[in-house]
Amino acid sequence: MEHLLIGISETERDQTNDIHRFLNHHLPHIQWDFKSFNDIVPEKINHLLTDAEIDLFVCSYQRIVPQSTQDKTCLTTTLPKLKDIVQIEDPSKEVIESPFGKYKYALKFLKNRTDLIDLFSPYFGKVWLIGAGAGNKELITVKGRKRVSEADVVISDYLLDQDILKSYTGEHTLIVPLTKYGKRIKKNHVSQGNINETILRYALLEKKVVRLKGGDPFVFGRGGEECEYLLPYGIDYEVIPGISAMLSALSYAGIPLTHRDYNAGFIVITGYRRECEESHECYQRIARKINFALEADLVAILFMSLSNWNHFAQLITYQEAPVAFIESGAYPRQRVFLSEVHKAQSLIEKEDFKSPTLIVVGENVQVRNHLKWFEHLPLYGMRILVFASEKLSVETSDLLNDLGADCRGYELYDLVPERIDQVSPYLKGLSNYDYIVITSRNAIDILLSDLKALNIDIRTLPKIIVTGKKTEGEFRKLGIIPDIVPNSFSTDGIIDSLSQLDIKGKRFLFPKSSLTKGVLSSYIREMEGIVDDFILYKNVPKKLSEITQQDILDFKAHYIIFTSSSSVEYYFKSLYDLNHRFIPVSIGSKTSQALRDRGIEDVMEAKSFTTNGIKDLFLRDIAKSPMVH
């Protein structure tokens, strides 16, 4: 019989009998002893079982033993959670605490314990290892995207396209980026051991955990190691493959992986091995594989080889063999350069390639000269920022990225709905109004949510005035056709439409944001109309992380799209770089004026204030700009 000791503090003595009964009931083959921490002699203990480890056993007691049972085998009070987990690994050493997280030693105790796993596995979560594809966020599979949207927790790689997380995760998903100390630089990377423990920790908390990787989890993604780590803990997992960089990067570069005129197959190699740091023989083995590929009419695909290229390239027999370097393959910022083996090192130094860079050695590299297509997209090479609501920034970025641009969207304000008791007096009196004015898509979502919360039928809405085609479109999706849609997406547009009506004595309801000016309300009152305007939601400036702010500054956008005067204010207050030249793009006269008020005169304004209007502006007036091409 196994003999285990539970250390307790004086304040927990009243719980001892309950704990003892519970453990004896469910794990009768183990003899449990209790002692005060003050009475324990460390030299005589192989393992010290502490509060958090007890908690690992009993955290599910209410589900294992129903509260209604007559057998009082469950705890009557809640144990302290994850406190002071320690383990005496060696009697000669001091008690060791986990530096990474308070679960570490409790997990070690659970490992390979089939008795405990059988008891608690019904309450474990599940892990999905998902390949997000390499490059464009839309390269993720349908199944992968579905699982990401359903996840409680997503543990993501730094190299992953962050737009995947913005676009596909659920509203309440916890995103755990694999960074350390808030930085994303190589020397502060998180070790594989800590990654494994992070995955396991959330799985033991009964979470649906997605481990999201660029490319494919089982192609140089360490997915196999992560699965092996989960096995002895009884955690269920599923692997969803992704499009590897050897497929996506070559396709976007216009280099066929196989071409019957040039190669009979391919081999895939990693140019980084830990043993290479200690032995020159490692580089010789890599070179021999490349030589074999070239002799056998194969193409060699090299992952993680950029920093070590010069070590093994000089050992390649065929120094005039064609080689391609694909930096950030299948991303909008993709760069591709062709060379020959003996010239490649000078090219690397000249172009200053950054990771991830895929290297391709073989005759079919030459096909790129007439098959390249990505660089021919109309907006290729343009770096564009868009400051808008989350929905609009995603739509705009997707549209422009499809045209070859590197467009990144950021939401600068959080939309916080006003308390329901503040808006209910207005919404409950909808039937008293002749018109309701809706000036944004955000207002529609929040208004509908409030109507639902107040159990108010949407059919009681009065005549609807909207600004812009997008706002109109949102209503049409609901089967509602707005009554007034101005030609101009602005307050002036609404005023122009109202000037053609007799609004004297008419009642208007105007649910607005906290940033909305009083121009429209003032006009209605001047025309002897009656208007009740109230705050429907507040625009609260986001506190962008230092990493995000630095990303924006480092991006050095050629164009910045401003979708509101408030986005102009935020940018110049928090993000403006005097040394950065850019062309501002506006989607409304008020926004353009806000830019001019800041001394920016050369503003490009879309004629149609929609995402398609922005697209047309770029295609018509910008695509031939010498700044980029």
3-state helix, strand, coil in the chain (%, to 5): 40, 20, 40
8 A C-beta contact, residue 536 and residue 589: no
Active-site entry in 157, 402, 492, 532: 157
pLDDT value of position 103:
36
Q: Which of 285, 280, 287 is nearest to 318 (CA)?
A: 287
Q: Which secondary structure element, helix H or strand E, spans residue 612, and what is its range?
A: helix 611-617
* Phi and psi at residue 42, to the nearest 5°: -55, -35
Please give the mean pLDDT across all residues of the chain: 82
pLDDT value of position 85:
26
Q: Is 304 a catalytic residue?
A: yes
User: Percentage of the chain with pLDDT > 90?
Assistant: 55
Which of the residue ranges 112-121, 142-151, 180-189, 331-340 would you say has the lowest mean pLDDT?
180-189
Q: Residue 411 has which token pair?
A: 């939401």
pLDDT value of position 608:
74
Q: Which has the higher per-residue pLDDT, 27 or 122?
A: 122
Beta strands at 265-270 and 298-303: parallel, antiparallel or unpaired: parallel
pLDDT value of position 117:
75
pTM of this structure: 0.76
Amino acid, res. 315: L
* Residue 443 pLDDT level (bands cut at 50, 70, 90): very high
Peptide bond into 322 cis (omega under 30): no
Q: How far apart are CA 49 and CA 5, in angstroms?
A: 6
Beta strands at 174-177 and 153-156: parallel, antiparallel or unpaired: parallel
Active-site entry in 35, 143, 183, 452: 183
**In this model, does residue 149 exceed pLDDT 90?**
yes
Q: Which has the higher per-residue pLDDT, 488 or 216?
A: 216
Active-site entry in 18, 146, 304, 533: 304
Q: Which domains does the chain have, with CATH numbers?
A: 2-113 (no CATH), 124-243 (3.40.1010.10), 256-368 (3.30.950.10), 383-412+542-622 (3.40.50.10090), 423-538 (3.40.50.10090)
Q: Which has the higher per-residue pLDDT, 469 or 484?
A: 484
Q: Is 157 a catalytic residue?
A: yes
Amino acid, res. 472: E
| For helices 16-26 and 51-58, angle between their N-to-C axes, nearest 10 degrees | 50
Mean pLDDT over 248-258 rounds to 97
Q: How far apart are CA 197 and CA 217, in angstroms?
A: 17
Mean pLDDT over 498-514 rounds to 94
**In this model, does residue 562 exceed pLDDT 90?**
yes
